[in-house]
Each structure stands twice: as structure tokens, then as C-alpha cells.
Amino acid sequence: MKYGLLCAGLIAATSMSVAQANTSTQAKQAQAKYVASSYAQTKYPIVFAHGLTGFIRIGTESFGLDYWHQILPDLARNGANAWATRVSPFNSNDVRGEQLLQQVEEVIALTGTEKVNLIGHSQGAHSVRYVGGIIPAHVASITTVAGVNKGSPMADFILKTEGTGLDLALASVVNFASAAIVWAQGLDPHSFPHDSLASAKSLSTAGAIAFNQRFPAGIPKTACGEGSYSENGMRLYSFTGNSAFNSALDASDYIMKISSLIVGKEGANDGLVPVCSARFGQTIRDNYRWNHLDEVNQILGVRGLFSQDPVQVYREHANRLKQQGL
């Protein structure tokens, strides 16, 4: 959905270059040709978890799209030990959380570190919160970016099709897209399970309530308040955008504008997630002039003239973690 048209183009363009499927699920460490500073050099590695429809890279080194466009290489150039992870593009919070947990354990083993800093975008917020709930002793901080922490009206809207017949057709299309996203990363499409209905239920208001009962750390106790800043030895942060349409040059902004009409009943939003749903722990800022894709510097870094630079925001957040000794 979020990356549908772009993914389709990249998949078609790279179909001849994606060779044998690689079944490795290891996280990928960001690389830089040079290190310019230690500004973002945190004590512990920073592990990133993508959201719905997400990936590490679609395509090849020479022609491809990174989910966290330009963000991780910039962190590496500024001294950070940053890792991108991959989980099922569409599945439940628990399935994706377990997949991320495995990769976090891999990062800990590979780096010899005691802890990691976790950053999750969109449904990735649930994934990092899941890991924090399972192994808090190995998590220094959790940051959710436009996290669907209290559910999304968009998921509620989609679930209204359940039982109409349309849900089966939609599920088939989405599950096929999920497999295609995995394949476009050079992986066996069957190496990650796909379940679009489980994904929608996880992102719904009811799904969020159930998840929060199991993993309550950082969730505000009021409708749009602040959560606890620290729990179980973990520092908790969040930030989000609140502007669906920011650039006439970005095709995705038109989609975000349309989807915001559904999400808008919950107030300010980024096109898919209400601001109040995104609040978690210490809210760094909830009014960046970003939509849901701008938050990960997509598509390809195009943003509004007056929008903040996402690459800079992540770099500054890494420095924030550094200053906290994390």
C-alpha cells in the first residue's frame, strides 16, 4: 500500500538481477566510506525496525531503494553502529516481534554488546516494544516513530470489509505483494510468513488495546498524554509527523492526503497514524511537517519546502541517546 507502485516498478526493473534467493534473515549493518565525526556514536548499537510493507532494500546496490533512505549511512558517517532489520512485510505484531527478537540477538552476538537501542517506524513500533518487553535487560532505549501505539482508523476501516467477500480478494492481493517484497530483496518469498488479516487486526484499535495490555511500558494513560520516560531500565521516546500533504512533487503525498480523510476523524495525523496514537514515552516532537513516508525520508528524500530534514532529525536523536550514555 504505502510503497505499492514504487515497489512494483523496482521489482520489474530488477527481476533479472535478483539471483538465487538468500534465506539469511540477519540484520544488515550500515556502512560508510568514511567517518566524519563521532556526533552519533552511541554506546550501544542502534537497531532499526521497519513498518508495514517494509524491507531493508528492494533491488540491488546499483539500483535499489532503502526503506530508511539515506538515514543509516548518515548515522554511520557520524560514528553510529546502525543496523537495519527485516521482518514479514505483513503479519501480526507477535510474529514480527519474534522475527525482530531473533535479529536483535544476532546483533548482540555479532557486536559483543550488552544492549541495543531500538527504533521502530509504524508497525515497527510494536516490534521494538515487543522486544523490549521480552528482553528488557538487553534494551537501552526504545524510540517509536509514528508508532500505531493506540491503533489506526485506517486498519479499523479495512477490517470492515471482513465477511463481505472483498476481504478475501484484498488478502490475496496483499499477501502476494508481501511475498513480492521479500523476493525483491533477493530472498526466498517463503522464508517469511505473510498474513494480511493478522496485520490489519494488530494495527486496529482493538488490536492495539490488547497489545498494550501485554506491553504497557511507555503508553500514555490519557488519550493524548505523555507516557513514562523510563521503565525496566529502558529510556522511552517517540516522535511523529502531522501533515499528510507537503510536496506536490511527491506522488505519495496525494495518497497520504486521501487516506488522511479516513484517519482525520481522530485529529491531527500523518496520513495514516493519528498523532495521539503515535505518542509514547517522552514525546520529542509530534508536529514535524511530515507524512507517514516522510518520516523515513521517502519517497527518495522528496519533502516539502518547509519540512524538517528526517536525516538530520535521526542524527540528532542518536546524539540525544549518546548524551544519555546509551
Residue whose grid cell is 559483543: 112
Torsion of CA 211, 215, 218, 220, to 10 degrees: 40
End-to-end C-alpha distance for the chain, whole angstroms: 35
User: Under 8 Å CB-to-CB from 264, ≥6 apart: which residues?
Assistant: none
**Nearest partner of 136 among 42, 231, 228, judged by Cα:** 231
Q: How far apart are CA 197 and CA 159, in angstroms?
A: 8
User: Cα angle at 7 between 4 and 10, to 5 degrees?
Assistant: 150
User: Considering 66, 270, 286, 294, which one is annotated as catalytic?
Assistant: 270
Strand partners, 121: 145
Main-chain phi, psi angles of 139, to 5 degrees: -120, 120
Q: How far apart are CA 225 and CA 315, in angstroms?
A: 26
Q: How far apart are CA 158 and CA 201, in angstroms?
A: 9
* Amino acid identity for residue 51 in this structure: G
Q: How far apart are CA 191 and CA 213, in angstroms?
A: 30
Cell numbers that stand for 148 in this block: 500505531
User: Could you confirm whether 69 is annotated as catalytic?
Assistant: no
User: Considering 121, 126, 138, 292, which one is annotated as catalytic?
Assistant: 292
Host H or E run for residue 179: helix 166-183
3-state helix, strand, coil in the chain (%, to 5): 40, 15, 45
Q: How far apart are CA 240 and CA 119, in angstroms?
A: 12
User: Considering 50, 74, 88, 122, which one is annotated as catalytic?
Assistant: 122
User: Could you confirm whether 122 is annotated as catalytic?
Assistant: yes
Q: How far apart are CA 51 and CA 147, in angstroms?
A: 9
CA 100, 106, 107, 113 torsion: positive or negative? positive
Residues annotated as catalytic are 122, 270, 292
